[in-house]
Amino acid sequence: MPALSQSDLVASMFSTPDMQGVFSARACLQGMLDFESALARAQAEAGVVPAAVVPHIDACCKAELIDAEALCAAAGPAGNLAIPLVRQLTALVTKQDAEAGKFVHWGATSQDAIDTGMLLQLRQALDLIRRDLAGLLDALAVLCEHHRDTPQAGRTWLQQALPVTFGLKVAGWMDGLLRRQARLDQVSQTAMVVQFGGAAGTLASLGDAGLTVTEALARQLRLGVADIPWHTQRDRLCEVACELGMLVGSLGKMARDISLAMQTEVAELAEPVATGRGGSSAMPHKRNPVGCAIALTCAARMPGLVSTMLAGMVQEHERALGGWQAEWDTVPQIAGLAAAATHQLRQVAEGLTVDTARMQTNLHLTDGLIMAEAVTIALGRDLGRLAAHKLVEQACGVAVAERRNLRDVLVDSLAADARLAQSLSSPELDRLFNPSSYLGVAGQFVDRVLQTHRRQKTERKD
């Protein structure tokens, strides 16, 4: 058996296969090598290095040519991966052409290669997350439209409160995720700027050609150009980390709602059924919310990782001592958790079972108590809000104590008080105790969220 770490055994839960590929050892090395190859081309274009060296450098910038085990052994003493990587690359190029070997990593520093390589990986990571997020939002939009007016019990402090609609609940999930989508689209552009500053951020080794090479390098890698090297200004990466943290937080809220609705005593929702999914090693009847569990685990882990990124922003002078290094393992974990949570909940949303009959049953669990506010508002027009609230509160107490329906208790009160009978007729009571009659503008809220989704979807295509 290969030497797997303990975390390798559960890696499939907290990332996705595609994301594991993006942050594999090979991809990490290839990102830095892509920087070195692009640097040689950019410098040749600017006349800084001979054009003849480019094919030799480019041919050796292949991860499979690197001795990864030797690199791992050398990284600790060197303090980073780039130093032993550049040493190996230089040896490979020199073996092909001694002159070309002189110009490997010309004018660059280790952080230039590491940061730019990380950005190339992060760009792919964000594309994967944004793809699954778009799919998740499409699936939620279908649920929203189908259940725009499906009544269910709204719950506050885990207790039944007032009727809402399932469409409104889904629209609430969508609303937060739509904001995250817009911000991720934005940071996917603003954060993707090449890192190239040389030893101390001045590019003094390139003379007057520093900016020319920087622009050519960025063009080669399809990255933006910053006004200044950002060796110790880590806000762009932190912004990405924070956005992914908020995305996972929003997904965690959705997962919490779904998992609570999957409780046996509630049973309004259920995750999709698939072979090997959601079962129990002991209880054959179980249908566990495994997708939600993974998303909630990701949400529990994410704040600590984001805080590591934020703590690392406080860096020393022109090169960090510890803060930058703390990012190397943190960024891949953040991306992996975001990918896992998004992918899992996309699968959940696309196959979610919605039991509307159970939602109706649950609306009547409290024997009419859920409609107490509706009755209070109706009575308040004649009695005043406080007096109406007191009367209905007393009626609720009787209903609970005597295990009776609130409507029946109120009918007795109406029969004993002619003034109340004038305020609430029997047909009016029928209407007030119909949950679908007390949904406010829930449908309009749903429509507004769906409109935003359609607009963002169109804008993203354009």
Q: Can you give the residue ranges of every domain in the chain?
A: 15-101, 110-193+230-363, 369-432
Question: Domain 369-432: which topology?
Answer: Ribonucleotide Reductase Protein R1; domain 1 (1.10.40)
Q: Check if 155 is active-site.
A: no
15-101 homologous superfamily: Fumarase/aspartase (N-terminal domain) (1.10.275.10)
pLDDT digits (tens, 9 = 90+) for 274-298: 655 555 444 455 678 999 999 999 9
Which residue reads 């490979």 in tokens? 92
Under the banding of pLDDT at 50, 70 and 90, the label for residue 462 is confident
Cβ-count burial 293-330 (b if 16+ within 10 Å, e if not) = bbbbbbbebbeebbebbeebbebeeebbeebbeebeeb
268 φ, ψ (degrees, to nearest 5):
-90, -25
Would the pLDDT of 74 be above 70? Answer: yes
Contact (CB, 8 A) for 303 and 342: no
Torsion of CA 225, 226, 229, 230, to 10 degrees: -120
Which of the residues 26, 222, 280, 426 is marked catalytic? 280
Would the pLDDT of 437 be above 80? Answer: yes
Q: What is the mean pLDDT of residues 88-94?
A: 96
Would the pLDDT of 103 be above 90? Answer: yes
Q: What is the pLDDT of residue 10?
A: 78
Q: What is the mean pLDDT of residues 84-92?
A: 96
- pTM of the predicted structure, to 2 decimals: 0.93
Under the banding of pLDDT at 50, 70 and 90, the label for residue 2 is low
Helix (H, G, I), strand (E, B) or coil at 131: helix
Which of the residues 319, 358, 404, 431 is marked catalytic? 319
Q: What is the pLDDT of residue 274?
A: 67
Q: What does the DSSP 8-state code read for residue 232?
A: T
Task: Give, in order, the Cα–Cα distances in Å from 376 to each of 104, 373, 384, 437.
Answer: 79, 5, 9, 14
Among 220, 178, 296, 166, smallest CA distance to 57 is for 220
Percentage of the chain with pLDDT > 70?
96
Q: What does the DSSP 8-state code read for residue 53?
A: G
β-pairing, 269-270 vs 159-165, is unpaired
Would the pLDDT of 399 be above 60? Answer: yes
Helix (H, G, I), strand (E, B) or coil at 354: strand
Under the banding of pLDDT at 50, 70 and 90, the label for residue 13 is confident
Whole-angstrom Cα distance, residue 437 to residue 415? 24
CATH of 110-193+230-363, one of 1.20.200.10, 3.40.605.10, 1.10.287.130, 3.40.50.2300: 1.20.200.10
Q: What does the DSSP 8-state code read for residue 271?
A: P
Contact (CB, 8 A) for 193 and 201: no
Task: Give, in order, the Cα–Cα distances in Å from 319 to each of 81, 202, 313, 316, 324.
Answer: 16, 13, 12, 6, 8
Cβ-count burial 339-371 (b if 16+ within 10 Å, e if not) = bbbbbbbbbbbeebebbeebbbebbeebbbbbb
Task: Give, in order, the Cα–Cα distances in Å from 5 to each of 9, 14, 347, 348.
Answer: 7, 14, 28, 29
Q: What is the pLDDT of residue 424?
A: 80
Q: Which tokens is 68 given?
A: 């990864």
pLDDT digits (tens, 9 = 90+) for 49-61: 999 999 999 999 9
Contact (CB, 8 A) for 156 and 169: no
Q: Check if 280 is active-site.
A: yes
pLDDT digits (tens, 9 = 90+) for 167-225: 999 999 999 999 999 999 999 999 999 999 999 999 999 999 999 999 999 999 999 99
Q: What is the pLDDT of residue 1?
A: 42
Name the residue type at position 237: L
